[in-house]
Amino acid sequence: MIEVQHLTKRYGPTTAVDDVSFTVEKGEVLGFLGPNGAGKTTTMRVLTGYMPPTEGRAVVAGFDISDEPIEAKRRIGYLPETPPLYPEMTVRDYLLFVSRIKGVPRASRAARVNEVMERTRVADVATRHCGKLSKGYRQRVGLAQAVLHNPDVLILDEPTAGLDPKQIIETRQLIKEFGGDHTIILSTHILPEVSQTCHRVVIINKGRVVAVDTPDNLTARVRGSETMYVQVEAPAPADVQTALAAVSGVTHVSLAETRGPIAGYEVNSEAGRDVRRELASAVVVKGWGLLELRPLRMSLEEIFLHLTTEEVAHE
Amino acid sequence: MSNMLAIAQKELKGYFASPIAYIVIGFSAILFGWFFINLLYYFDRMAMQAGGGFGGPQSVNVNESLIAPLFLNVSVILLFTLPLVTMRTYSEEKRSGTIELLLTSPLTDLQIVMGKFLGGLVLYAAMLAVTVVHMAFLFAFGNPEWRPVVTGYLGLLLMGSCFLSLGLFISSLTRNQIVAGMITFAVFLLFWVVNWISTFTGPTTQAVLNYLSITEHLNDFTRGVVDTKHLVYYVSFIAFSLFLTVRSVDSERWRG
C-alpha cells in the first residue's frame, strides 16, 4: 500500500531524511519510532505530498506522490503534529469544508460528516468553534478531518502527543478501530504506544532507518538470542566461564563484572531455549556459589536506545 | 473550479468571522463618504459659479468634476485597507499549520492561490458595492453619464485586483502577518508614488515610471475610456503576481 524507496530529504546542507526505504502492507499499522528531530515528521510530510523528496520516491496506494500528487492525496488522510484547525470555524463547518476539498461528493457530505463525528466522538461539540476546543477534542477533530474522505492510508504524526492519559487511551482505541479499514502510519516517541498499537515498527534516528520489524521480533533481534545473567562466587572466573560455555545450548559467555571472588556473567543461548536448569547445575556441581540467575529482558526502551546509539557508533 | 470556490468561500467566511471584513468595509465606507461629501460641496460651488456667471466655467460636468476625482481618491483607501485583506491569507495558514491541510489535500497550488485571490476580490467588491449607494444619489438627483461610472468601477476592480494579487504574494513569503501587512503597505505606496519623481527625469525614465504606477492607469478608466494598454498592464500585473505566488508556495515546499 505504501512503498518508500531510498527517500532522501535535504534542507540546504542538513540532511533530515537519509536514504529511507520501507513498505507498508494493506491494513497494517506501522509505527514510526524515533527521538525528536529524527526525521519522522519530514518523512511523513514527504509521504503526504506536503513537500517533495530530494531523492528517491514514495508510492502511496499505487500512485507516485511526485508524479501523480492529486490522485495520491485523494487516498491519504493526514493528521499533522498540530491539528490543522481553523479557530473561527465551528467543528461541523470545518469538517464540511475539509470534506469538500478532499473531494467527498456533495450529496453525501453532510451524512459523512455526521458519521465521522459520531465515530471520533466529537458530535457533542459540532457547533463549537475549533479555537475553543480542549486539546483532546482538537486531536479528535484532527483525526476526524483525516478520515473524512475514507482514505486508504492514514498518516498520523504524534497522534497522542500532549494528551492526558485518559485521552491517550481513547485516541489509541480510535486508531485501533480505524486500523481495520485503513493502512496506518503513526509516529511517536512514546515506546509503549508502539507495542500496543502497531504491527510493525520502523525505528528511525538521525534521518536513517535503524530497524524495521515487529515489536516482538525487534526484541528478539536485539537480544539476538536469550540472555541470562549469572552471578557466581568462585575462585577463578575463567573456570566458571569455561564451565558455563560448556553447557549445551549456550552460544556465548562474557564476563560482565567482578567483585573479588564474585563475578557476573552474561550467557547467551540459542533463541527459544531455556538453559536455566543446566546453568544452575553446572555451577552447583563444581561447588561454586550460585548467587543470582535471571533472564535479561530488553524493554522496547532499551532496544530503542541500543539501536539508535549503535547506529551512531557505526558512523 | 469547485475546489477553488471552496477555498474562496472559506476565505470569505474567515474575513467575516474576524473583524477584518467589518473594519475594511466600514472604514472604507466612512472614508468614501467623506471624499464624496467634500467633492460634492466643491462641485456644488463650481456649479453655482458656472450658473451665476461669475466668470467660472460655462458648465460643469458631474462625471469630470465629481465622479472621476472620486474614483481616483479610492486608490488612497485601497492603499490602507487592502493590506489588511491580504496580509493574513498565507501568513496565518503557515503560522497555525493549516497550510499543511491545504497542501496535502487533492488541490493544485493554482486552485489554492486563485481561491484565496477570489475570496479577497469578493470582499473588495463588497467594499465597492457600498459606494454604489453614493452613485445612486448622483443618478437620482443629477444626470451623470453611466458609461464612465461603469468603466470607473471596472478600473477600480482591476486596480484593486493588482493590489490583492501583490499582497497575496507578499503574504506567501512570511509566516508573520504583521510583517506581511507592513511590507504590502510599503510596496503599495511605492507603486503609488513611483512616478512622482517623473517630472524631474528624462522622457524615457518618465514614461517607464508612469507606466509602472498602478494608479496612473486608472485615469482613463474614470473618464470612460477602456484602453487596451491599461487592460494589458492590469491583467499582466495580476497574472504575474499570482504566478509568483504559486511559485512562492511551491518553493516553500522545497525549502520546508
Chain A residues within 8 A of B254 when measuring between CB atoms: 51-52
Contact A51 B253 (CB under 8 A): yes
- The number of folded domains in chain B is 1
CA distance B225 to B220: 5
Contact A86 B10 (CB under 8 A): yes
Same domain, A265 and A194: no
Best mutation target among A9, A76, A90, A100 (most B Cβ atoms within 10 Å) is A100
- The number of folded domains in chain A is 2
Give the one of A16, A52, A82 whose C-beta lies nearest to B254's C-beta: A52
Contact A145, B101 (CB under 8 A): yes
Chain A residues within 8 A of B106 when measuring between CB atoms: 70-71, 73-74, 101-103
3-state secondary structure of B24: helix
CA distance B46 to B57: 8
Quote the domain boundaries for residue B20. Answer: 2-255
Contact B6 A11 (CB under 8 A): no
Contact A84 B101 (CB under 8 A): yes
The DSSP bridge partners found for residue A211 are A203
CA distance B256 to B252: 6
Contact A188, A32 (CB under 8 A): yes
pLDDT at A110: 94
Query: Would you say residue A137 lies in a domain?
Result: yes
If we measure between CA atoms, which residue out of A34, A31, A29, A60 comes closest to residue A47?
A60
Task: Spell out which chain B residues touch chain A, with contact meaning CB-CB distance below 8 angstroms.
Answer: 2-3, 6-7, 9-10, 13-14, 17-18, 96-108, 253-256
pLDDT at A165: 85
Same domain, A288 and A172: no
Spans of chain B below 70 pLDDT: 51-59, 256
pLDDT tens string A75-110? 999 999 899 999 999 999 999 999 999 999 999 999
Beta-carbon count within 10 A of B63 CB: 20
If we measure between CA atoms, which residue out of A141, A135, A189 comes closest to residue A300?
A189
Same domain, A9 and A27: yes
Give the one of A82, A87, A103 whose C-beta lies nearest to B106's C-beta: A103
Contact A70 B106 (CB under 8 A): yes
A31 close to B (CB below 8 A): no
Chain A residues within 8 A of B98 when measuring between CB atoms: 84-86
**What 8-state DSSP symbol labels residue A129?**
B
3-state secondary structure of A26: coil
The answer to ipTM > 0.90 is no
The dihedral sign for the CA sequence A94, B1, B234, B187: positive
User: Considering only alpha carbons, which residue of chain B is nearest residue A55?
Assistant: B254
Q: How many CA atoms lie within 13 A of B115 on its CB side?
A: 23
Chain B residues within 8 A of A51 when measuring between CB atoms: 253-254, 256
pLDDT at A302: 66
The DSSP bridge partners found for residue A200 are A30
Contact B105 A51 (CB under 8 A): no
Give the one of A48, A100, A103 whose C-beta lies nearest to B104's C-beta: A48
Contact A86 B14 (CB under 8 A): yes
Query: Would you say residue A309 lies in a domain?
Result: no
CA of A262 to nearest chain B CA: how many angstroms apart?
57
pLDDT at B53: 54
Which secondary structure element, helix H or strand E, spans residue B62, and what is its range? helix B62-62
- Could you give the C-alpha distances from B241 to A35, B8, B68, B166, B172, in angstroms and in order? 41, 18, 27, 5, 11
pLDDT tens string A201-213? 888 888 888 888 8
Which secondary structure element, helix H or strand E, spans residue A79, and what is its range? strand A76-79
Written as nine digits, the cell of A213 is 520489524
Amino acid letter, residue A295: P
Per DSSP bridges, beta strands A183-188 and A29-33 are parallel
The beta strands (E) that lie in A139-280 are given as: 153-157, 183-188, 200-205, 208-213, 226-233, 250-259, 262-269
Q: Residue A101 maps to which CATH number?
A: 3.40.50.300
Same domain, A178 and A251: no
Mapped to the 3 state alphabet, what secondary structure does A204-219 carry?
EECCEEEEEECHHHHH
Best mutation target among B22, B88, B92, B100 (most A Cβ atoms within 10 Å) is B100
Going residue by residue through chain A (315 aa), what tens digit of pLDDT does each one get? 889 999 999 888 888 898 899 999 888 899 988 877 788 889 999 999 998 898 999 999 889 998 999 999 999 999 998 999 999 999 999 999 999 999 999 999 999 999 999 988 899 999 999 999 998 899 999 999 999 999 999 999 988 887 888 888 888 888 888 887 889 999 887 777 777 788 888 888 888 888 888 877 776 665 555 678 888 988 888 888 888 888 888 888 888 888 888 888 888 877 667 788 888 888 888 888 888 888 776 666 666 666 666 544 444
Quote the domain boundaries for residue A277. Answer: 225-296
Contact A267, A230 (CB under 8 A): yes
Q: Residue A247 maps to which CATH number?
A: 3.30.70.3190
Contact B100 A103 (CB under 8 A): no
Chain B residues within 8 A of A42 when measuring between CB atoms: 256
Cβ-defined contacts of A290-293 (< 8 Å, 24+): A290/A230, A290/A231, A290/A232, A291/A231, A291/A232, A291/A233, A291/A262, A292/A229, A292/A230, A292/A231, A292/A264, A293/A228, A293/A229, A293/A230, A293/A231
Helices B146-171 and B109-141, packing angle to 10 deg: 150
pLDDT at B185: 94
Same domain, A137 and A247: no
Helices B20-52 and B109-141, packing angle to 10 deg: 30
Helices (H) and strands (E) in chain B, counts: 12, 0
Which of A199, A220, A241 is at the close of a domain?
Answer: A220
Contact A114, A123 (CB under 8 A): yes
Same domain, A194 and A242: no
pLDDT > 70 fraction of chain A, expressed in percent and rounded? 91
Phi then psi dihedrals of residue B190, to 5 deg: -60, -45
Written as nine digits, the cell of B214 is 498602478
Chain B residues within 8 A of A145 when measuring between CB atoms: 101
pLDDT at B46: 82
Same domain, A200 and A232: no
pLDDT tens string A20-46? 999 998 888 999 888 777 888 899 999
If we measure between CA atoms, which residue out of A226, A146, A224 comes closest to residue A186?
A146
Give the one of A51, A88, A97 whose C-beta lies nearest to B256's C-beta: A51
Which of A220, A252, A268 is at the close of a domain?
Answer: A220
Contact A78 B100 (CB under 8 A): yes
A131 close to B (CB below 8 A): no
pLDDT at A313: 45
Best mutation target among B2, B105, B177 (most A Cβ atoms within 10 Å) is B105
CA distance B198 to B212: 11
Same domain, A93 and A114: yes
Give the one of B10, B13, B104 whose C-beta lies nearest to A78's C-beta: B104
The DSSP bridge partners found for residue A60 are A2, A63
CA of B7 to nearest chain A CA: how many angstroms apart?
8
Contact A101 B3 (CB under 8 A): yes
The dihedral sign for the CA sequence B120, B125, B126, B127: positive
CA distance A206 to A314: 13
Same domain, A112 and A245: no
